[in-house]
Amino acid sequence: MNATVSALNVAPTTASHAVTQRLPSAAQLKQQLPLSEPLHKLVQAQRQAIRNILGGVDDRLLIVVGPCSIHDPQSALEYASHLAALSREVSEDMLLVMRAYIEKPRTTVGWKGLAYDPHLDGSDDMTHGLTLSRELMIEMLRMGLAVATELLQPIAAGYFDDLLSWAAIGARTTESQIHREMASGLDLPVGFKNGTDGGVAIACDAMRSAAHSHRHFGVDEQGHPAIVLTPGNPDTHLVLRGGHSGPNFSHTHVANARAGLEKNGIPARLMVDCSHANSGKDPLRQPDVFNDVLEQRLGGDRSLIGMMLESHLFEGCQPLSGHLRYGVSVTDGCLGWDATETLLRAAASELRQQRTRSRVIG
């Protein structure tokens, strides 16, 4: 299992031997593409802003929005430029965070994301994928955007952890001890999604685990096997994304989730993913979910701290092929930018009006 070759296109000689290729270490890539001091301070400020929202110090709504996955750098940066402009416009009412997903979980097989296969052709040029992904995230930071992703492969996390203001642990990996250990060592807020069954018990266990210190097997920044000691992460929260039985964003679902968190001694702070099972996997239903949750928030439910939206330049999705439409997702279907902008502007207006009314009454 330890045969080493110099290129990925060299096939294994027998079915029992894996082919490996050495990657640059996380430290090497960070040295090649460093985070400048001004951007480092920006990331720290963005993380603190999200922590303030989680703690109720900041009453803005946290919105993680962007493509289901990034497959085309040009369209991703065009989307980011639109989002950056809108972010400045609604900054008093919302904190917009760019969804920069460069890994995609697969139930069986399929395209695994930009970090794995940046050429979209099965060549799996992961060295280029890691480099390109880091370049894109840094460029988004230069636009002033906070950056978020789902952390799927713990080894890959070390290549981007200094750039992120928020991270998700997906429904398939929330139960994973390895991902709980990883989250316990991250110096940023982390959202754990409910399990694929729609229940919150697994996520509650995950948050309790991630809040504690762990000593576990891992790799250091130089890529060497290491014993990793983590301090514990106090800045986790629950993300409701629905399940096999259907959506879980209604007032009743939110109340039940809040009760489950409180029973486990976990701060009652929840985000709703408007996609996946909550929208019945129909991207055009995301605004309905969003507006329902917004009404709950406007109605006084302060445990609802934010939402997630899958959104790209143009709505829908497309299969990977030789003729891809620009700005259209190649994984889950997305809401188009025009509809996203309209939705977020309207929500910001409602939040602003409520804040104005509160000041008058106060």
What's the residue count for the chain? 362
Q: The domain that contains 252 carries what CATH number?
A: 3.20.20.70
> What integer pLDDT is reported at residue 357 of this predicted model?
80
Q: Is residue 21 part of a domain?
A: no
Q: Alpha helix (H) ranges present in the chain?
A: 26-32, 37-54, 73-89, 126-142, 154-157, 177-184, 201-210, 251-263, 286-298, 337-361
Compute the distance between CA of residue 144 and CA of residue 230 in angstroms, rounded to an integer.
29
> What integer pLDDT is reported at residue 15 of this predicted model?
54
Question: Which among 306, 304, 241, 290 has a CA at the least distance from the CA of 64?
Answer: 306
Q: Across residues 179-191, what is the average pLDDT?
A: 98
- The b/e string for 105-118 (b: 16+ C-beta within 10 A; e otherwise) is eeeeeebbbbbbbb
Amino acid in position 324? L
> What integer pLDDT is reported at residue 322 of this predicted model?
85
Q: Is residue 19 part of a domain?
A: no
Which range has the worst mean pLDDT, 11-15, 117-121, 165-169?
11-15
Q: Is residue 10 part of a domain?
A: no
Cα-based distances in Å from 141 to 66, 69, 133, 167: 14, 18, 13, 15
Q: Is residue 327 part of a domain?
A: yes
Q: Name the residue range of residue 64's domain.
A: 26-361
Q: What is the mean pLDDT of the chain?
A: 94
- Cβ–Cβ < 8 Å for 296, 61: no
> What integer pLDDT is reported at residue 358 of this predicted model?
75
Residues β-bridged to residue 217: 227
Whether 120 shows a pLDDT value over 80: the answer reads: yes
Which range has the worst mean pLDDT, 18-22, 117-121, 218-222?
18-22
- Cβ–Cβ < 8 Å for 312, 340: no
Q: Across residues 86-106, what is the average pLDDT?
A: 96
pLDDT band of 2, cuts 50, 70, 90: very low
> What integer pLDDT is reported at residue 172 of this predicted model?
92
Residues β-bridged to residue 308: 64, 273
Angle between helices 286-298 and 337-361 (to 10 degrees): 10
Q: Is residue 253 part of a domain?
A: yes
> What integer pLDDT is reported at residue 240 of this predicted model?
98
For residues 322 and 282, the model is more confident at: 282
- Predicted confidence (pLDDT) per residue in 321-359, tens digit: 889 999 999 999 999 999 999 999 999 999 999 888 877
- Predicted confidence (pLDDT) per residue in 234-264, tens digit: 999 999 999 999 999 999 999 999 999 999 9
Maximum pairwise Cα distance, the chain: 76
Q: Is residue 285 part of a domain?
A: yes
- Predicted confidence (pLDDT) per residue in 8-59, tens digit: 444 444 555 788 899 999 999 999 999 999 999 999 999 999 999 999 999 9
> What is the tally of structural domains in the chain?
1
Q: Across residues 81-97, what is the average pLDDT?
A: 98
- Cβ–Cβ < 8 Å for 277, 198: yes
Long-range contacts of 6-15 (CB under 8 A, 24+ apart): 8/123, 8/124, 8/125, 9/123
Question: Which among 291, 273, 245 has a CA at the least distance from the CA of 332?
Answer: 273
CA 205 to chain centre: 20
